[in-house]
Amino acid sequence: MRRASLAIALLAAFTAGPVAPAAVDRPATFSDSGPEPQLSRIFSEIEKNQLDVALEKTESLLRQYPNFRLGHLIKGDLLLARSQKLSTLGNAANAPQERLADLRDEAIARLNAYRDKPAKTNYVPRYLLQMQPDQKHAIVVDTQKSRLYLYQNDDGRPRFVADYYITHGKLGADKMREGDKKTPVGVYHVTSSLPLNKLGDFYGSGAFPINYPNEWDKRQGRNGHGIWLHGTPSDTFSRPPKASDGCVVLANTDLDALAKNLQVGLTPVIISNSIEWLSFDDWKTERASLNKKIDDWRTDWESKDVNRFLKHYSKKFQTKDQGIDQFAQQKRQVNAGKEWIKVKLSNQSMFRNPGKEEVVVVTFDQDYRSNNLNNQMKKRQYWVREDGTWKIIYEGSV
């Protein structure tokens, strides 16, 4: 009787339409973690007007996740539906609208992400151009979708492992300033694992700082600090999609699962507003052309022809202490004494920086040998697309 209206009301929340039940049937190539599969089934029961079944499933979901607030909200609705008409998801009288809106947003984020799970596609995040061999995993965050994706390094090709619901900054992404309550967008890596005994309950089961602000951020004048991946306080399973001061927050169980795959100092964490996906073929092409460019740079360096070498550098090139002119002058001086140069690169990674500007962060071990100097270093370069070609705009040791 009043059921149809409930289903409509709840589903109306999903701009993208009803949750595809197909998601449930897809052969699982990974173990689904988190409450999304159950949530999705609950909503599909609601859609079928099987409110009793939906309530049973909700109660079973809550047995598994007792502090899952969204689950409690749906339970409240399903109970209330037995005695009155419902108008929306979350019919609590006199409830603070903000909190209701937060839970609705969470429902939408979770259901949409579940429906669009990337495993079924042949697409990869554009940012993961190349992982270095010892990077076992990479993390890509989509702040708009409130989702974190874990990829495995499968012989250079990123292979999807799992995805998790996340919370990011109250005021969104693109952090610029200290205290702006935004999550940075860029290519980072985990820098440490903070010991549990130094964390309050607020950070849940762990915390992994990332290297914001990185070289590129500083160059752009961005500041602030203390951006972490961390867990959730014990009184709730999850937080609303936008609630942190800039950190990326996961459910404790998810953080624990993720932590097993994190390599401190190594695992890339790429945070985007909205992930750009490339088909596997396009991804291969883009990766090859960049590799070619980097190899050109290396061989031009070995050629001792300073002009050929310098044409790989942007006019806006800037290191910590040199602009392009000083850099060029120094290279010319040094090169005068060279009879031969050998440069070997290894352990190379390439990650595209999310955002409008086309920037790729390249990191490698550089083995430089010449008649009068040998040197080994880990170097990081920022390549930027300028006038249709890739140029180096920053480089420095890591």
Partner 1 sequence: MRPSPSTPSLARLPGLIIGFAMSVSVSFAIAADTLPDIQRLMKQGQMPQALEKVDAYISTKPKDAQGRFLKGLILTEMGRPADAIPVFTRLTEDYPELPEPYNNLAVLYAQQKQYDKARTALEMAIRTHPSYSIAHENLGDVYAKLASQAYDKALQLDSSNSVTQSKLSLIRELISTSAKPGVKPSATSSRPAPEPAKIAVAEPLKPTVTPQPAAVVTPVVPPVSAPVKPIEKAAEQAKAEKPLEKPTEAKATDGDGQAEVSKSLNGWAGAWSRKDVKGYLSYYASDFQTPNGMPRKAWEAERAQRIDKPGKLQVGVEEVRIALAGDKATVKFRQHYNSASLKSTASKTVVFVRSGGKWLIQQERVG
Q: Contact positions toward partner 1, by CB under 8 A?
A: 69-73, 75-77, 79-80, 82-85, 90-92, 94-96, 99-100, 103
Least Å distance between CB 236 and partner 1? 8
Least Å distance between CB 26 and partner 1? 29
Compare residues 31 and 83 and give the one whose CB is closer to partner 1.
83
Compare residues 5 and 329 and give the one whose CB is closer to partner 1.
5
Least Å distance between CB 63 and partner 1? 12
| CA 216/CA 43 separation, integer angstroms | 44
Least Å distance between CB 346 and partner 1? 53
Compare residues 82 and 315 and give the one whose CB is closer to partner 1.
82
| CA 130/CA 127 separation, integer angstroms | 9
What is the edge-to-edge ordering of all strands in the sheet holding 341-353? 128-130, 341-353, 359-370, 374-386, 389-397
Cβ pair 250, 236 in contact under 8 A: no
Least Å distance between CB 235 and partner 1? 8
Compare residues 2 and 177 and give the one whose CB is closer to partner 1.
2
Least Å distance between CB 83 and partner 1? 4
Exposure string of 64-77, with b = 16+ CB inside 10 Å and e = fewer, is: ebebbbbbbbbbbb
| CA 355/CA 272 separation, integer angstroms | 7
Compare residues 87 and 326 and give the one whose CB is closer to partner 1.
87
Q: Which of 290, 291, 299, 301 is nearest to 358 (CA)?
A: 290
Residue 309 burial (10 A CB sphere; 0-12, 13-18, 19+): buried
Compare residues 106 and 302 and give the one whose CB is closer to partner 1.
106
Instruction: Say how many CA atoms lie within 13 Å of 314 toward its Cβ.
Output: 20
For residue 103, what are the contacts with CB-CB under 8 A and spacing of at least 6?
A: 69, 70, 73, 89, 90, 240
